Structure formats: structure tokens, C-alpha cells
Amino acid sequence: MAQPSPDTLVIAQSVDIESMEPNMLNQAVSINVHSHMFGTLLSVTPEGEVVPHFAESYAWNDAGTEISFTIREGLTCEDGEVLDAEDVAYTLNRAADPDNKFIGHTPGFVFNSIGFVSARAEGPRTAVMTLKGYSSTVPGMAAKIFIHCKDSYEALSNEEAVLKTVASGPYKLVEWVKDDRVVLTRNPNYTLSEPAFDTVIWRVIPEASTRGVELVAGNVDIAVNIPPDQSAAINAYDTAQVVSVAGTRRMFVGFNFSGAFDGTPGGDAIKDVKVRQALNMAVDVPTICVQLLGTECTRANGPANVGNPDIEAYPYDPDAAEKILDEAGWPRGADGTRFSLVMQGPNGRYLNDGQVQQAVAQYLSDIGVATTNDLMTMALFSPMAREHTAGPVFFIGQGGATWSSVYDMSLFPTREAPVNNGMWFNEGWQSRWDSLKTIRDPAEEKRVVNEMLEIFHEDAPWIFLYFQPDFYGVSSRINWQPRRDEAIEAWTATLK
């Protein structure tokens, strides 16, 4: 591919988007592309501040069951349709409609987490969201919902919306060549900002080494997931540099409690909390970080970026792990094996993910838990995780936030939620989660959150690993600074 012109920005990601339908997206790569075609009610800054976007302001009712958004005047979709409160209510209700069978981030994660009930318009400027109860995460969650125009999408069938968009954001779709590229061009009807680049091309380049080659050749401006061992070679060129940032994505090995693996030695063993705690103690996370990620990192002590500082992460102590397994009734057999596990996970989605999974499997095998890897593409793995069939143990990363502990904990609103990939359930966690709907005092919320994080750590539904460090390749021809939360915003890039 030729080097981009001055009015074109080229971004290389490792996998393709899932769909053009905004309610069928689960992966960050898809959400990144769509965030350029659709606006949101509110936005989250790189510093974690929730700020206005399509909505100028919002307000709660006294009961905490309704939140009203005041919609800006003058918003227009790419086809000229005026966007107002009716379109916002339509967007929300369309996403929640069970007849549409949407399984993406908004219906599957956001709505499950905040207890969405319905939405309505009260005049052209007020959109009201009805909820099961109060949640401090609602404003931030509103920054995740892609707003679209009612008339435009009522004119499309759900099948057509998989391939076509009617944009409300700063860019609109030119073409999608599956597994190759998505091309966007400026949407002149979007007036809230003026991006520096008229065209944004999102290229699909699965191999990290190829992304690096294309970067230094000047064919790519931003490349994600550059392996740290390539940094020195890339930085030796004057055409690009590697920029690192402490990411918010939680990397872990999850246990599947769905019942799909009941009756197998591994499936039965992981039901025992002592076994899960022992497996945590078998994995040397700091060594994995240094040797495979090229950086030092602190082992996670829970599911939240803003966690409970009083909780000590599981130590690396294989001798203690073996003793716990012996006491739990899982001794080594004559062949040295206690029980066996299969670890499923994606290859090529996360930073050195295949190597990390192999290392974890080796650590578990070293204490007698014979673990084999089943690596696959993210396209195959993602529906398995969402449908609770991956396992009996699985490797995955879940995006996180610096603005709310509760947001990060929203992976577990119920046992059946699609984002609760392992179908973990703990009564103490669930009762406290439900109680958050009645808590408006931040200090009281923090107290309950800390109790929940203690429960999570003790029950160990994950083998806790790390928050993924992110390495981006950035062309020397642009000014651009990556965010911690993996959001790529082309409108913040400028030509030098």
C-alpha cells in the first residue's frame, strides 16, 4: 500500500471489526472504528472525566430511577436528518428490543450493568432513561452508547445495518473490505469538532511484525500492539517511534462455572476455592511481564483498575500451591499429574497472548495440573466466551476504566450476563451489587465496593494476571498521544 497523503490517517489494528451494526460490537477494535462514525451522549476524557457530547447536561430524579439528558440543538446525521431526543430514545430502545437479538456491548454489557428498563423523549431536547435503580456508572456508561437517527435506521433492515451505517459522528463510511480495511471520510454534517484528517483508513494487519514493517515504511501512522522486543528496531528509524502506556485492560485466566465441564476432573476441581487459590499461587506473573511483555508490572489483586489497596495480590509460591492441592484432595498420581485442564484463548488479539498462555500452562503443569493450550482466532473465541462455553479455563482480556471501580466490576451484574464469561456467582457479591442501586453517597459506595473486592479476591474466580501495558507504533509525521483505555481517537491526531 502506498504512503498516505497529508489528508489521510492510516491506523493498523490486529483484527477486523465484527459488524457495522452498532449493537453487535464487543471488541475494542470494533468500538474504536465505530466511535468515529457515531456520537455519544457524553464522553470520557483521557484523564477519566465524564464531559458533555451530544448531551449538554444530565440530572437524576430523587428516586434514582430516571436520568434525564438535555440534548444539544443543531445535531444532524450524515443524511441530513435532525438528531434530537426522539432519536436518543429510539437508539436506546432499539438496542434493548429482544426481537432484534442484539448481543453487542450496549445491550450485553452496558444495559445489564446499569439495569436499563426503557427510554422516552420529553420534547425534542430531553431524553429520559428509566433504570431499575441508581448507579454511579450511568454517565460514564452513556459514553459507550452509539447514538443513531431514528428515521435513518427504521429505513434499514437489521440485515442491511450489518453492512451499512448512517453516521452521527465526525466520519462516515466509504467502504468496508472484510479482513482488509475500513475507509472513513469526514462527515460534513458533524460540527462539534473539526478533525485534522479528511480520511481515516483502518487496516487489518494480524501479524505484529508486519505492522512494524508497514509503520517504518511510512505506510501506517498508528500501529497497535507492537511487541516490546521490536521497539529498539523501530526506534532506530527516523520514520516512527514506539510509545508505551500503562493500560487498563484486565488480563486473566477465567474459570468456567457454567456446568459445561461438570464430571471432568478439571471441571470438578476448579469448583473448589482452595484449588483456585492454589492455581493463582502457581503462576509467576512478574516474570511473565518482564520476559514476555518487556516491562515490569504489578500483579492484579482484583478486577478493578481503581482497586482496594489493602488487598495483597496472590504471591508466587509453587510449594504452597502444591501443599494446598494435596490438602484439598488432589494429590499427584503415579505419573505426577493431579488433574488435567484445557486452556482456551485467542492468539494474536492481545500483546504476546499466545506466549503468555503457554507460560501459564507450563506453570500449572509444574505443580501437577497438566494444562494444554487451545489457541484460536479471536473470531472463533469471542462467541465461545460470550456464550459461556470456553474452558474449563480460558484466557481473556477485558477493557477497564480509571474513572470507576464499579464500571470494572460490572462484568458480574448477574450469573447469566454475557460479559460474565465464566458464569461466576457469589451470594455475598451479588447482594452487595444489588445494594449499590440504593447508595448515592460516594463514601458508602466505596465501603461496599471494597467489601466486594475482598470477596472477589478470596473466591478467586480468576487466575489474576496483570493490566496489559500497551505499545503503539506512531509515525514521525503526526502528533498523537495514546490513551490508557485503548480508545483510539483519530480526531486528536495532527500532521506535524
37: its cell numbers:
462514525
Statement: residue 460 has pLDDT above 80: yes
Statement: residue 235 has pLDDT above 80: yes
User: Considering the domain boundaries, does residue 2 fall inside one?
Assistant: no
Element (H, E) at 204: strand 199-204
Both 140 and 183 in a single domain? no
Statement: residue 2 has pLDDT above 80: no
Are the C-beta atoms of residues 136 and 99 closer than 8 Å to each other?
no
Please report, to the nearest 10 degrees, the dihedral formed by the alpha carbons of residues 454, 390, 202, 217 taken in order: 90
- Provide the 3-class DSSP secondary structure of residue 7: coil
For residue 336, count CB atoms less than 10 angstroms from its CB and return exposed for 0-12, middle for 13-18, buried for 19 or more. Answer: exposed
147: its cell numbers:
447514538
Both 423 and 289 in a single domain? yes
Q: Which residues are 50's β-sheet partners? A: 44
- Provide the 3-class DSSP secondary structure of residue 347: coil
The whole-number average pLDDT for the span 21-37 is 96
User: Considering the domain boundaries, does residue 259 fall inside one?
Assistant: yes
Both 206 and 354 in a single domain? no
What is the per-residue pLDDT across 57-71, written as a single tens digit (0 to 9) for each? 999 999 999 999 999
User: Cell 478493578 maps to which residue?
Assistant: 304
User: Cell 473470531 maps to which residue?
Assistant: 379
Are the C-beta atoms of residues 479 and 493 closer than 8 Å to each other?
yes
pLDDT above 70 as % of the chain: 100
Both 127 and 210 in a single domain? no
Measured CA to CA, the distance from residue 301 to residue 282 in angstroms comes to: 15
Structural domains of the chain, count: 3
SS3 labels along 273-313: HHHHHHHHHCCCHHHHHHHHHCCCCCCCCCCCCCCCCCCCC
CA 472 to chain centre: 17
Q: Which residues are 202's β-sheet partners? A: 11, 182
Closest CA to 363 of 458, 293, 286, 302: 286
Measured CA to CA, the distance from residue 364 to residue 395 in angstroms comes to: 14
Q: Which pLDDT belongs to residue 321?
A: 98
Please report, to the nearest 10 degrees, the dihedral formed by the alpha carbons of residues 266, 269, 271, 276 taken in order: -100
CATH number of the domain within which 140 lies: 3.40.190.10
Closest CA to 41 of 23, 60, 55: 55
Residue 98 phi, psi dihedral angles, 5° rounding:
-65, -25
Which of 155, 189, 214 represents a domain boundary (last residue)? 155
User: Considering the domain boundaries, does residue 21 fall inside one?
Assistant: no
Tell me the whole-structure pTM to 2 decimals.
Answer: 0.84
Pick the more confident residue, 441 or 2: 441
What is the per-residue pLDDT across 369-424, written as a single tens digit (0 to 9) for each? 999 999 999 999 999 999 999 999 999 999 999 889 999 999 999 999 888 999 99
* 433 HSE (CA, 13 A, CB side): 24
Pick the more confident residue, 90 or 48: 90
In the DSSP assignment, the letter for residue 394 is E
For all residues of the chain together, what is the average pLDDT?
96
For residue 211, count CB atoms less than 10 angstroms from its CB and return exposed for 0-12, middle for 13-18, buried for 19 or more. Answer: buried
45: its cell numbers:
476524557
195: left (phi over 0), alpha (psi -120 to 50) or beta: beta
Both 458 and 474 in a single domain? no
User: Considering the domain boundaries, does residue 237 fall inside one?
Assistant: yes
Closest CA to 224 of 487, 451, 435: 487
Q: Which pLDDT belongs to residue 45?
A: 94
CB atoms within 10 A of CB 362: 13
Radius of gyration of the chain (CA): 23
Q: Which pLDDT belongs to residue 146?
A: 98
CATH number of the domain within which 287 lies: 3.10.105.10
Q: Which pLDDT belongs to residue 418?
A: 86
The whole-number average pLDDT for the span 206-217 is 95
The whole-number average pLDDT for the span 315-331 is 98
Which of 122, 155, 188 represents a domain boundary (last residue)? 155
Q: Which one-letter amino acid corresponds to residue 158?
A: N
The whole-number average pLDDT for the span 193-222 is 96
Q: Which pLDDT belongs to residue 3?
A: 85
SS3 labels along 219-232: CCCEECCCCHHHHH
For residue 340, count CB atoms less than 10 angstroms from its CB and return exposed for 0-12, middle for 13-18, buried for 19 or more. Answer: middle
Measured CA to CA, the distance from residue 349 to residue 403 in angstroms comes to: 25
Both 226 and 291 in a single domain? no
Both 96 and 234 in a single domain? no
* 454 HSE (CA, 13 A, CB side): 9
Are the C-beta atoms of residues 154 and 463 closer than 8 Å to each other?
no
Both 272 and 419 in a single domain? yes
The whole-number average pLDDT for the span 179-189 is 97
What is the per-residue pLDDT across 327-369, written as a single tens digit (0 to 9) for each? 999 999 999 999 999 999 999 889 899 999 999 999 999 999 9
Both 369 and 475 in a single domain? no
Measured CA to CA, the distance from residue 196 to residue 144 in angstroms comes to: 24
User: Considering the domain boundaries, does residue 356 fall inside one?
Assistant: yes
What is the per-residue pLDDT across 136-160, written as a single tens digit (0 to 9) for each? 999 999 999 999 999 999 999 999 9
100: its cell numbers:
432484534
Both 462 and 344 in a single domain? yes
Angle at 410 between CA 342 and CA 43, to 5 degrees: 120
Measured CA to CA, the distance from residue 231 to residue 250 in angstroms comes to: 23
Positive or negative torsion for Cα 284, 315, 409, 270 = positive
User: Considering the domain boundaries, does residue 272 fall inside one?
Assistant: yes
Are the C-beta atoms of residues 190 and 38 closer than 8 Å to each other?
no
At 246, is the pLDDT very low, low, confident or very high (cuts 50, 70, 90)?
confident
Which of 127, 155, 183 represents a domain boundary (last residue)? 155
Both 282 and 402 in a single domain? yes
Both 113 and 141 in a single domain? yes
pLDDT above 90 as % of the chain: 93
Can you give the residue range of the structural domain that contains 94?
Answer: 28-32+39-155
CA 353 to chain centre: 15
User: Considering the domain boundaries, does residue 376 fall inside one?
Assistant: yes
User: Considering the domain boundaries, does residue 23 fall inside one?
Assistant: no
